[in-house]
Structure 1
Amino acid sequence: MKKLTRIVLDPNVMGGKPCIKGLRVTVGTLIGLLASGLSFKDVLEMYPYLVEEDLKEALAYAAWRSEEFEAPLATA
């Protein structure tokens, strides 16, 4: 996967959820809107400070996370 430059995780912003860089718009919010049937155009009209690349990276991040495997750390 290419390096994502528009998605950040900051524990001080939105509880550490992945967000669009410099904004308080979570990846989950954007994916939820797209999953509910809204088009890129619809979402960009709702959030005029976003650009299409923000939505593409949000989708790429969500796809990557859906394939990631989380394993608990072994304890001593």
Structure 2
Amino acid sequence: MDLTEWISIDPDIRGGKPCIRGTRITVYDILEYLAGGMTEAELLADFPSLKPEHVRAVLMFAAQRERRLSVSLPYEIAA
């Protein structure tokens, strides 16, 4: 999946936070809603501009960022 198709980073939109392309909905917003217990179906109903592909892109974005962070940390801290 090419994340740039779904997620953009623009310094003029939401202070440069990663957003769903064409919206002001940040990756972090979606992650917080999901972590708070909102289901994907509820999220899509509340934000009609979102598609299931957006949610998958957000999860992949977060996983890739976590992977990069864990590789850069010493083993003792990452474990």
The normalised TM-score by structure 1 is 0.84
* Consecutive unaligned residues in structure 1, runs of 5 or more: 72-76
What root-mean-square deviation, in Å, do the aligned CA atoms of Structure 1 and Structure 2 show?
1.4
> Distance in 1 between the 2:28 and 2:62 partners?
8
Offset from partner CA, 1:25-76 (integer Å, 9 cap, x none): 00000011011111110101110111110111011001111111369xxxxx
- The Cα offsets for residues 4-26 of structure 1, whole Å up to 9 and x where unpaired, read as 11001011100000000010000
Aligned to 1:3: 2
Pairing of 1:43-58 with structure 2 (within 5 A):
43-58=43-58
Partner of 1:32: 32
Q: Which has the higher helix share?
A: 2
State TM-score, norm by structure 2.
Answer: 0.81
Residue of structure 2 equivalent to 1:74:
none
Residue type at the aligned position of 1:30? I
Q: Taking CA–CA contacts closer than 8 Å with sequence separation of 6 or more, which of the two structures ends up with the larger relative contact order?
A: 1
Q: Measure the CA separation in 2 of the matches of 1:35 and 1:50.
A: 17
How many corresponding residue pairs?
70
Runs of 4+ in 1 over 4 A off after TM superposition: none
Q: Indicate the SS of the match to 2:30.
A: helix
Percent same amino acid at aligned positions? 36
